[in-house]
A = this chain, B = another copy of it.
Amino acid sequence: MSSSPLQIAVVVGSLRRDSYNRKLALALEKLAPAGSASFKHLDIGALPLYNQDDDANQAPAVKQMKADIAASAGVLFVTPEYNRSIPGVLKNALDNCSRPYGSSAWAGKPAGIIGTSPGAIGTALAQAHLRPILGYLDMPTLGQPEAFVQMKEGLIDADGNIGEGSRKFLQGWLDTYLNWVRKFSA
């Protein structure tokens, strides 16, 4: 008996072209068993700065993103830490797609949080800010294992695969996350 692939919306919190977190997201996706999941990256750099005056007439990029989230079984947040919190560009995406009041695209979508940075705390404080936001948005968010990933030589190899030293942990994280999403998409 096989189950259909889960469609996962991926939100990378950085717009930088060579973003470590985008590399981590792409490497994680390769760990998904064949046929288990498909991943769609949301283009948060295409969104306008959120302005409540636009609620009745949201920009096409906002509507498209809300439709992509609605079509997904779960959301994977892969984000850096900026100034001890989440990037403004990530919060702007959360704000845009949560509106108008009563029409949030996020509600009920199971979420996973992971992030990497060169620093030792590996985005821990950004994640601590993101969790209560996702709670308010009514996104069931995977608790354990937490994943505070330090970007070091060898974390991701030249072919974009997770390196040997972290593969077991991150394989376990991804498997647990996909099981979490599946729990909510019966």
Binding site for B on A (CB under 8 A): 14-17, 44-45, 47, 49-53, 82-96, 98, 125, 129, 132-133, 135-137
Contacts and interface: CB of A to CB of B under 8 A. Distances in A.
Q: Taking the full assembly, how many copies of this chain does it contain?
A: 2
A47 B49 CA distance: 9
Interchain residue pairs A-B with the least CB separation, the first 4:
A88-B92, A88-B91, A15-B51, A84-B136
Contacts of A133: 83-85
Nearest to A93: B88
A84 B45 CA distance: 22
18 contacts: A14-B52, A45-B49, A47-B49, A49-B88, A49-B89, A50-B89, A82-B95, A83-B95, A83-B133, A83-B136, A84-B135, A85-B91, A86-B91, A87-B92, A88-B94, A88-B95, A88-B96, A91-B91
Contact of A132 (B15, B17, B52, B125): B125
